[in-house]
Amino acid sequence: MSPLHFLKPELLWLLPLAVLPLLSHGVKQFSYPSLMNWPKDVASLNVRWAIRAIAALVIISLVIAAAAPFTEGGTESRIGLGAEIVVVLDRSGSMSEGLKGRDYNRQSAEAGESDAHFLSKIEAARAVLLKFMQQRPADTFGIVAFNASPISVASLSSDRALAEAALLSAQSQSTGFTALGRALALALDYFEGRPYTASRLILLVSDGDAVIEGEDQEILKQAFIRQRAKLMWIYVRGEREQSILDTVIAGDNEIITAQDMAYAARQQMASMHQVFSQLGMPYQAFEVDSEQGLNKAIQAVSNATNQPTRYEYRLPRKHYAHYLYMLAIVLMGLLVWIKQQEIVVWQSSPSGKSR
């Protein structure tokens, strides 16, 4: 059995007040001739002490009820379906370029110089993600968009219309820096304070071109562990990007000079893929360069998050104050009834009628 706790234990210091009815019955006393030779009225004596005891119980009940007693509800194992997914969408300028195999120059495509239909990486990602969200009614979605700084576009909630609108509004903007580390940290903050009732996923959709400092890597590692979240990276590869499997810096990296390469070496000499692999959380990467590849990656994400999640559900506390207040009301009603009976008996006696 769970131990009893009190929200306001300091009020229990008022319990000694319950002794007052036992010391005095609260009725003014008058002198009267000695009745020592009269036989003892045991019934009246018992009633008198019973009334005092009831009054003491009323005080005890009210004091304990005011202290708000409760017991913890404990926990029970439950199975959760669906997932909590935060989409971290790269909206840097490189995401406006075409997918690999497409003409990445929008002006050339619009001028009719290329027969291939132009499709930017961010447009393809939005379309696939939107379809994915519509096929997952049991999931909860949040959206973080980032380029030079992360933006909380849609909080983690069951409001699917809000998440879809936020996804459609994400447009690429050209910047010189991609704040990937801060974007992931913001996405992990979405889980802060939420009970763990379903699998948690950070779904990064990006073409790379970012460096995460060693200090930030440690912060991210601890955040992933604390939030019990996994990371999946859909690396959208364009015409000019290198593979994340065989390059030092993943994504759209314009590291073509010795100075740039030296800077990259100072920044841990590791690609984003290698950094993520070393953070210690469940991680999977998908390298895609077409709409078909995006669809296959999303399908893999869907399969990975369809697994039921066993979690511990914290049962609510059980409060007892209302029971004690009800007991106090009943006892006070009993005292009123007893007092009423005294009046009835007194009025029906010969001395009472004579008055």
Closest by Cα among 101, 6, 32 to 291: 101
- Entry pTM: 0.58
Closest by Cα among 223, 220, 180, 155 to 89: 180
**DSSP output for 96-165:** GSBBTTS---HHHHHTT--SSPP-BHHHHHHHHHHHHHHT-TT-EEEEEEESSSEEEEEEEES-HHHHHH
Mean pLDDT, residues 32-54 taken together: 74
Strands of the sheet with 150-157, listed across from one edge: 150-157, 140-146, 83-90, 199-206, 229-236, 283-288
> What do you get for the CA distance between the two ends of the chain, in Å?
59
The residue behind tokens 């939030």 is 227
Alpha helices in the chain (DSSP H): 20-23, 42-66, 106-110, 121-134, 160-169, 180-189, 214-227, 258-266, 272-277, 291-304, 321-348, 350-354
Lowest mean pLDDT segment, chosen from 159-163, 268-272, 292-296: 268-272
Per-residue model confidence (pLDDT) at position 265: 47
Q: Quote the tokens at residue 271.
A: 């690609």
Highest mean pLDDT among 68-72, 166-170, 177-181: 68-72
Mean pLDDT, residues 103-108 taken together: 49
Closest by Cα among 75, 76, 83 to 308: 83
Higher-pLDDT residue of 290, 7: 7
Closest by Cα among 60, 52, 2, 65 to 22: 52
User: 125, 89 in Cβ contact below 8 A?
Assistant: yes
- Which amino acid appears at position 108 of this protein? S
Q: Quote the CA–CA distance of 312 and 299 in Å, as a whole number.
A: 29
Contacts of 316 (CB under 8 A, 6+ apart): 73
Per-residue model confidence (pLDDT) at position 37: 65
Closest by Cα among 206, 239, 234 to 100: 239
Q: Quote the CA–CA distance of 22 and 346 in Å, as a whole number.
A: 24
Q: DSSP code of 267?
A: T
Q: Which residues of 257-293 are buried (b: 16+ CB within 10 A; e: fewer)?
A: eeeeeeebeeeeebbbbebbeebebebebbbbbbbeb
Evaluate the CA torsion angle 77, 79, 84, 85 in order and state its sign.
positive
Per-residue model confidence (pLDDT) at position 309: 63
Give the domain ranges of the chain.
4-72+317-354, 78-313
pLDDT in tens, 85-100: 999 998 887 787 776 6
Q: DSSP code of 11?
A: G
* 78-313 is a CATH 3.40.50.410 domain: yes
pLDDT level of residue 311 (50, 70, 90 thresholds): low
Q: Quote the CA–CA distance of 221 and 184 in Å, as a whole number.
A: 11
User: 263, 285 in Cβ contact below 8 A?
Assistant: no
pLDDT level of residue 254 (50, 70, 90 thresholds): very low
